Chain A
């Protein structure tokens, strides 16, 4: 099928607003209405505790939730996807195909995990990962012949709490300040010698 001119082709979404809606993983006070929490721990409910990511693409708001919030390898999990139109909030009705892509460097493994119909306003897709790693879940659907491909990040296994960029910068700063302390007063002399050498 030829792509019509006003189309949205590949949409790769970066990490957007990640809301940790998973209340059972930290001691946060939940709102209770009539003494009953709105969510349940059962993954089959409409509203399981999870990590949620939201985005806005083309004509739609797309919300993606993963249960459990921090999935591990060999542990079955569920993706819940909500697609609503921006204008009036109408729910998208057609099939959505889910693919998983390996997000590591130099890797282009991808496979389809399933195609789902809408079920009570939600697209539900189960998954089981064999290995830990960084993955992308791609949701593919078409609205009026306009294809949408939306990628969401999914990390299986432990997060590393330490950020490499922050560590690099701190090490660099430490080195720079440290070398200044070591070179101390001799800096002037070193500059003088360097200047003389560059003159000759």
Chain B
């Protein structure tokens, strides 16, 4: 019991650090690497929770995470980057400094929201919930502050990592729920992939400015 709490805490913190670093990164290659590190840490967290809670399902979750998110998704993302020759830096919709300040504010909000409403819960759950809510919010912030479709996808995937972190910290979460979330991500990833290719075909770039212009003309 002595090691359960600090190790889960530390793994969650590494994930949070990755999510936070994503906000400050401009380069797509670095974003993908950060996402991969986050997913690998999530795998470790899932295995650790499975060991601590004696749940065989969590090992399965960890395995799915490892295969889909830590190996397949980064490979696919890197191939897209390579295919479209997207090596250069990504334009951000707001200054990086401002988005990082917003990120810290969001983490503060997550902590302030989670702590009072979970007074009766187990400490491990509370801690995990605060961290995973922060990761979810940071992923959403990445999606809002980036103009490039691919970095928005990475923000979405990071958000999903936060959800899974919350799920594995919760004792008694049915395995079906986690499995469906993982499959949902896979489907969403495929859809987005097709979408990205279509944008590229029409506008010759992955910047979403073109779509915004069409939207304005349509109204």
Bound pair (A, B): no
